[in-house]
Structure 1
């Protein structure tokens, strides 16, 4: 009498098991977890800023010039307590930070996302479509990367003018080449593997090979670069706004808030620039902590 065949119990699919290991690897870093929690808190505060901020700092009907330059914790004549003080126009610093977070995070996320799409597409085409396309794209990338990012952004804003939308456009133009070079290097390796040769032998369209087969295997470095670029874009926007070339006075951002109080630093009115600067620092550090850990988690050598 033959023994019945052994039936293995269903197991977790390989993809789910791999994702679970990556999450566990990420959670082993206390700094990354703290950074993720802080970043999530910042995002929630930015999204619900109109609901939780004490005032709309850019609604002139809610401002009183007599409340200008009040120190932190002081109660105004109207009974409103300014926990972080006010600026020279009577705007609540706490409210300004909450609204400024919305603008700064929007600039960082949109510019990094759009630059990633443009740069990734260019890198894929450069690696797959032949030497002429690769040569044209990479010469443009080399030219782009020969200029410092801040200089390229300054040049673009000199043409486009001030404003949040123009800052986003300038940062996209200044950052896309980084993605293109990284994706091109990764795609050159993946192009020679068997699954791409099999797709070619089946005469699949080039666009399908690029975006259905090649792209998913090039996304890991893109995710890491995009995370870092969000923090970098927020810092660049703050720098440009501080120099008077970024957001306008009617578009609150953390850089603009810091710039508003710079002239008062030597007079003892530290809070006008200090608290927005702390908020900017915390935001950038939390994003960098998450991005640094993602770099380790998504590194194939650690998997």
Structure 2
């Protein structure tokens, strides 16, 4: 079977598999949102069994439903924040490389400034500034994860600006905006898409981290960070499943996004077109 499929085809199949699994988790979480908040003290603190594969918590809530709902929420926040960060990175990277040295110096200074602050600390500060909750988490993650991709896209644009067709377009009177739109952005699409996918795992982990520390989503929402934070009080009593399964599911989700980004990079890489 491996001989019948080249590297790009295998990468495409793995990407499709990862995307389908993530989509299934997202949809399942939405469907189980009501079940995740149902309490039943007659079944509290049950260890994993056939009826409740992830066990139940101290309020009798189904941990499988809560885990899937929390993952679904994290994935949706990750998609939103990664998309905002990628668009900001594209705008800043393109502007820095096309609008002159002064603009480039200012934007490069902003990139260095943001990159000089630890991500988790910056996310917490921005989240607090926006009042925490959903808006705070989205703002914090979105405004702190664009710098690496912006620097990469800036470098790509600087290389493309020396291409003969770009120089010809400028001599023919095309404006900088027209050159960027018609000649630069199409060549940046592979790097942009790959960077967008690779932003997802960082966004999900930082959203869960700040929520775990109490600077993110409210405790009423069945987010993974909330679940892990609440479970810390019960680990010493032997309720290991309250943290083990949600933590394992979070790691698996991040790994799937990383796999999806790596395979997408291979698919879009022109060097692998004949492999």
- TM-score over 0.5 for the pair: yes
**For 1:143 and 1:196, how far apart are their aligned partners in 2?**
31
Aligned partner of 1:227 in structure 2 is: 197
From 165, 171, 177, the equivalent of 1:207 is 177
Is 270-279 or 156-165 further displaced after alignment? 156-165
Unaligned residue ranges in structure 2 (runs of 5+): none
**For 2:185 and 2:200, how far apart are their aligned partners in 1?**
21
In the TM superposition, what is the alpha-carbon distance from 1:242 to its structure 2 partner? 1.4
State the TM-score, normalizing by the size of structure 1: 0.81
Q: Map 1:138-217; keep pairs closer than 5 Å.
A: 138-217=108-187
**For 2:243 and 2:16, how far apart are their aligned partners in 1?**
25
**For 1:56 and 1:28, how far apart are their aligned partners in 2?**
38
Aligned partner of 2:29 in structure 1 is: 49
State the TM-score, normalizing by the size of structure 2: 0.89
Is 152-161 or 92-101 further displaced after alignment? 152-161
In the TM superposition, what is the alpha-carbon distance from 1:39 to its structure 2 partner? 4.1
From 130, 141, 152, the equivalent of 2:100 is 130
Unaligned residue ranges in structure 1 (runs of 5+): 1-22, 75-80
In the TM superposition, what is the alpha-carbon distance from 1:295 to its structure 2 partner? 3.0
Q: Map 1:50-89; keep pairs closer than 5 Å.
A: 50-51=30-31, 53=32, 55-58=34-37, 62-73=38-49, 81-89=51-59
- RMSD between aligned residues: 2.2
Aligned partner of 2:10 in structure 1 is: 28
**3-state secondary structure, aligned to 1:69:** coil
Aligned partner of 1:5 in structure 2 is: none
**For 2:30 and 2:82, how far apart are their aligned partners in 1?**
25
Cα gap change, 1:135/1:275 in structure 2, threshold over 3 Å: closer, same or farther? same
Higher Cα radius of gyration: 1
Q: Is the 8 A contact 2:67 2:249 kept in 1?
A: yes
Q: Does 1:274 align with 2:244?
A: yes
Cα gap change, 1:235/1:50 in structure 2, threshold over 3 Å: closer, same or farther? closer
Q: Is the 8 A contact 2:15 2:264 kept in 1?
A: no
Cα gap change, 1:50/1:295 in structure 2, threshold over 3 Å: closer, same or farther? closer
Aligned residues: 269
From 228, 242, 246, the equivalent of 2:212 is 242
